[in-house]
């Protein structure tokens, strides 16, 4: 038992360092993918083909390829095109675009679920499109958007572990490095798993409290 506690103390600092990267990638990924998702959804809902077609194609490409391949693409292929990103930036960008595509569909479905009459009533009061979206449609759509968006963000958190493959020393990579030198696979990966559970639970709580805020009276 004492032995286990010692190992715990030995591995923890390095895992915490990795966790900080995981949190950084996840927070940036959630913010950017939500922004991308919203922007993409507006393009999808646009009646202009010149706007909705390219975004529809992008989303299909993203949904049709594994995130890991996208990450390789951003990290290894973009430099050939003159765009060189650090491993962390590449990880954040590929996660944001990938999840932006998923979030676009979530936003689109949520916005479309609001009856046309709501748009018409607000329009007849002289409100502009963006005012209707912000004050009438999104507050109501939030109820429908938040649960799947929350789930998606939790998966994003777990998928941030893919960044380990392009050398980002986030939580999974930190664990790997410790395990490969100490051979304490059971202890290390159990600790890694526990930290992920902690993080996902925290995120789930956050999502839940936001859902409560938008519940209808």
Partner 1 sequence: MIEIVNLHKYFGQTHVLKGVNLQVNKGDVVVVVGPSGSGKSTLLRCINRLEEVQEGEIRIGGENILSKTADVYRIRCEVGMVFQQFNLFPHMNALHNVTLGPTVTKKMPRRDAEALATELLRKVGLSGREHSFPSELSGGQQQRVAIARALAMEPAVMLFDEATSALDPELVGEVLSVMKQLALEGMTMIVVTHLMGFAREVANHVVFMDDGLIVEDGTPKGIFENPKTDRAAAFFSKIL
Of 128 and 208, nearer to partner 1 (C-beta) is: 128
Residue 32 CB: number of other CB atoms within 10 A? 17
Q: Which of residues 197-216 bind partner 1 (CB under 8 A)?
A: 216
- Residue 49 contacts partner 1 per CB under 8 A: no
Q: Min. distance of Cβ 213 from partner 1 in angstroms?
A: 11
Q: Min. distance of Cβ 135 from partner 1 in angstroms?
A: 7
Of 132 and 166, nearer to partner 1 (C-beta) is: 132
d(CA 148, CA 160): 18
Q: Min. distance of Cβ 138 from partner 1 in angstroms?
A: 10
d(CA 155, CA 59): 18
Of 137 and 192, nearer to partner 1 (C-beta) is: 137
Q: Write the secondary structure of 160-194 as one string of H (helix), E (strand) and C (coil).
A: HHHHHHHCCCCHHHHHHHHHHHHCCHHHHHHHHHH
Q: Using CB under 8 A, pick the residue from 49, 64, 117, 186 that binds partner 1.
A: 117
What distance lies between CA 200 and its chain's CA centroid? 12
Q: Using CB under 8 A, pick the residue from 2, 124, 181, 209 that binds partner 1.
A: 124
Q: Min. distance of Cβ 210 from partner 1 in angstroms?
A: 15
d(CA 211, CA 215): 6
d(CA 40, CA 58): 10
Of 10 and 120, nearer to partner 1 (C-beta) is: 120
Residue 132 CB: number of other CB atoms within 10 A? 19
- Residue 123 contacts partner 1 per CB under 8 A: yes
Of 17 and 135, nearer to partner 1 (C-beta) is: 135
First to last CA, the chain: 52
Q: CB within 8 A of 159, min separation 6: which ones?
A: 67, 95, 98
d(CA 58, CA 198): 34
Q: Which of residues 136-195 bind partner 1 (CB under 8 A)?
A: 136, 139-140
Single out the segment in contact with partner 1 by CB under 8 A; choices: 92-100, 114-122, 152-160, 171-179. 114-122
Residues lying near partner 1 in the complex (CB under 8 A) are found at: 115, 117-118, 120-128, 131, 135-136, 139-140, 216-217
């Amino acid at each position: 038992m004492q032995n286990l506690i010692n190992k715990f103390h030995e591995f923890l600092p390095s895992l915490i360092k990795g966790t900080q990267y995981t949190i950084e990638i996840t927070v940036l990924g959630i913010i950017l993918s939500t922004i991308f998702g919203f922007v993409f959804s507006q393009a999808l809902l646009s009646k202009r083909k010149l706007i909705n077609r390219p975004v529809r194609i992008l989303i299909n490409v993203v949904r049709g390829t594994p995130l890991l391949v996208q990450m390789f693409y951003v990290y290894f292929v973009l430099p050939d095109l003159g765009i060189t990103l650090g491993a962390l930036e590449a990880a954040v960008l590929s996660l944001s675009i990938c999840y932006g595509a998923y979030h676009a569909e979530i936003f689109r479905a949520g916005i479309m679920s609001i009856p046309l009459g709501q748009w018409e009533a607000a329009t007849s009061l002289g409100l502009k499109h963006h005012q209707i979206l912000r004050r009438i449609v999104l507050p109501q759509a939030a109820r429908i958007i938040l649960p799947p968006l929350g789930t998606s963000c939790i998966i994003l958190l777990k998928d941030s572990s893919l960044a380990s493959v392009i050398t980002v020393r986030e939580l999974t990579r930190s664990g790997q490095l410790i395990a490969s030198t100490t051979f304490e696979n059971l202890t290390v990966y159990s600790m890694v798993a526990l930290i992920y559970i902690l993080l996902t639970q925290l995120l789930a709580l956050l999502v839940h409290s936001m859902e409560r805020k938008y519940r209808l009276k």
